[in-house]
Amino acid sequence: MADPQATNEPPFHSECYACPVGSFFVGVQTAQPDAMEHVLNIAQELLEVARGAIDVADEAIEHQRTARSERKGPTSRVRRIDIV
């Protein structure tokens, strides 16, 4: 693949600038190193929060499964109804 700077072509397709992902990559290429470090730190913290939320949701689901299996009565919520 040819170097875009050597051929004076834009590094991205023209539609990429309208897309949020393409805009992000353009911003990453033009950002200062300290700004990128700040963005990466924020992204890491956001992922840690998401991981914590997923862990809590997993515990809640496991608690519901345990409570449902200990409950007496039919294990299925679906009942067969004969239509005459």
Domain membership flag for residue 37: yes
Domain membership flag for residue 57: yes
Place 1 in a pLDDT band, splitting at 50, 70 and 90: very low
HEC string of the chain? CCCHHHHCCCCCCHHHHCCHHHHHHHHHHHCCHHHHHHHHHHHHHHHHHHHHHHHHHHHHHHHHHHHHHHCCCCCCCCCCCCCC
The pLDDT value given to residue 42: 93
**In the predicted structure, residue 41 carries a pLDDT above the cut 90:** yes
Question: Which position has the higher pLDDT, 4 or 28?
Answer: 28
Domain membership flag for residue 24: no
Question: Which position has the higher pLDDT, 14 or 2?
Answer: 14
Domain membership flag for residue 46: yes
Domain membership flag for residue 83: no
Domain that holds residue 54: 32-69
| Total of domains in the chain | 1
Domain membership flag for residue 60: yes
Q: Rounded to an integer, what distance in angstroms lies between the CA atom of residue 52 and that of residue 46?
A: 10
The pLDDT of 30-59, averaged and rounded, is 92
Centre a 10 Å sphere on the Cβ of residue 15 and count the other Cβ atoms it contains: 8
Domain membership flag for residue 27: no
The pLDDT value given to residue 50: 96
Domain membership flag for residue 75: no
